[in-house]
Amino acid sequence: MRSFFKRYREPIFVALLLAAPFLVFVAKARRGASLNPLDKAVVLLTAPVEHAITAAAFGVIDAWKGYIWLHGVREENETLRRDLSREHALAQRSQELLAENQRLKGLLDFADKQRPLRMTPAAVIAVGASPHSHTLRIARGTNDGVQRGAAVIAPDGIVGTVAQTTAGYSDVQLITSPLSAVPALSQRTRSRSTVKGIGDITRGRLEYALRSDDLQDGDLLLTAGGSGSFPKGLHIGRVTNVQRRATGMFLSSELLPSVDFSRLDEVMVVITDLEAPLEGAGGLATPLPAAAGSAAFGTGTGR
């Protein structure tokens, strides 16, 4: 018998392998009825194997589906991130354009109120690197009619004068420069003085204000006009730290400029003709037509 199994072990093994699925099928088919001991034994032996095979198969399927799903989610997330970044950029650009339009509208309204002065808008493209810098550069030059000594102003007040100019650009010396001196007039008392720069963009010094003048902290100073570069009546700043000495002709005081020079984006340059200088520099220039004034904003003065 032993030699028989040894001789035919391979056919017997194959027959058992073929019979096992048949027995499982028979056992499964009879689950609705009563199972005999053999059926129960087959189910008991094959159930764990069947469970393991089923779990492994579904695990592979789930892993594959999960990989495909995660791969798709990753691509979708990248697309959403790009779209979100683009929307943020567009929103920021729209806000900047809205702010720029509001500033330009303010410049146009300011220019209309200053007629018959002839002015051209200019974008500020550079400022000095030092906190105590007192110069800035604008995108207007001699090709635009800008001349040395021309007044540069903003809706809040005066900015400075053109110190150097080229064909397309000009450097502006701020009123806070130590080289600057602006004749001033108190709006309240009409007393006269001179605003002198000290190299600090946040303040200036008041000179030649008589000790007998009723000058007080908070008084607004305006340009006095006359032979200076600035037309009469423009804001310079407000008086602060008024001190009256016991002796001497003049009082001591500082001035807070009306313009925040660190936040300038656009300014207006007063255009003068050598043949017909402006009043405040000798006469009145012919004002720009409305269409020309509007077109000046479309000539590319962006930063």
Distance CA 228, CA 213 (A): 23
Query: In what helix (H) or strand (E) does residue 160 lie, and over which residues does it extend?
Result: strand 157-165
Distance CA 208, CA 184 (A): 10
List pLDDT tens digits, range 221-274.
999 987 667 888 899 999 999 998 888 899 999 999 999 988 888 899 998 744
- For residues 97 and 207, membership in a common domain is answered with no
Is residue 303 predicted with pLDDT exceeding 60? no
- For residues 218 and 276, membership in a common domain is answered with yes
- For residues 136 and 248, membership in a common domain is answered with yes
- For residues 31 and 148, membership in a common domain is answered with no
Distance CA 153, CA 266 (A): 9
Distance CA 56, CA 54 (A): 5
What average pLDDT does the segment 17-34 reach?
Answer: 59
Q: Which residue among 66, 86, 113 closes a domain?
A: 113
Confidence of residue 38 (pLDDT cuts 50, 70, 90): low
Q: What is the pTM of this model?
A: 0.57
| CA distance between the termini of the chain | 103
* Omega cis (within 30) before 116: yes
- For residues 30 and 94, membership in a common domain is answered with yes
Distance CA 74, CA 215 (A): 70
What average pLDDT does the segment 109-115 reach?
Answer: 61
Instruction: Identify whether the C-beta of residue 261 lies closer than 8 Å to the C-beta of residue 177.
Output: no
Give the best-scoring range by mean pLDDT among 33-42, 130-139, 211-220: 211-220
Place of tokens 């005999």: 36
Query: In what helix (H) or strand (E) does residue 162 lie, and over which residues does it extend?
Result: strand 157-165
Is residue 282 predicted with pLDDT exceeding 50? no
Is residue 17 predicted with pLDDT exceeding 70? no
Residues above pLDDT 90, as percent of the chain? 36
Distance CA 267, CA 289 (A): 19
Q: Which residue among 113, 139, 154 closes a domain?
A: 113
Pick from 105-109, 134-138, 141-145, 275-279: least confident: 275-279
Phi, psi of 110 (to 5 degrees): -65, -45
Give CB contacts under 8 A, 24+ apart, made by 149-153. 149/229, 150/229, 150/269, 150/270, 150/271, 150/272, 151/229, 151/230, 151/231, 151/269, 151/270, 151/280, 152/122, 152/267, 152/268, 152/269, 152/270, 153/119, 153/230, 153/234, 153/267, 153/268, 153/270
- For residues 203 and 109, membership in a common domain is answered with no
Mean pLDDT of the chain: 75
List pLDDT tens digits, range 139-188.
999 999 999 999 999 989 999 999 999 999 999 999 999 999 999 999 99
Using CB atoms within 10 A of its CB, is residue 265 exposed (0-12), middle (13-18) or buried (19+)?
middle
Confidence of residue 285 (pLDDT cuts 50, 70, 90): very low
> What pLDDT is recorded for position 248?
86
Per the structure, the count of domains in the chain is 2
Q: Which domain holds residue 225?
A: 118-298
Distance CA 263, CA 202 (A): 12
Confidence of residue 289 (pLDDT cuts 50, 70, 90): very low
- For residues 144 and 224, membership in a common domain is answered with yes
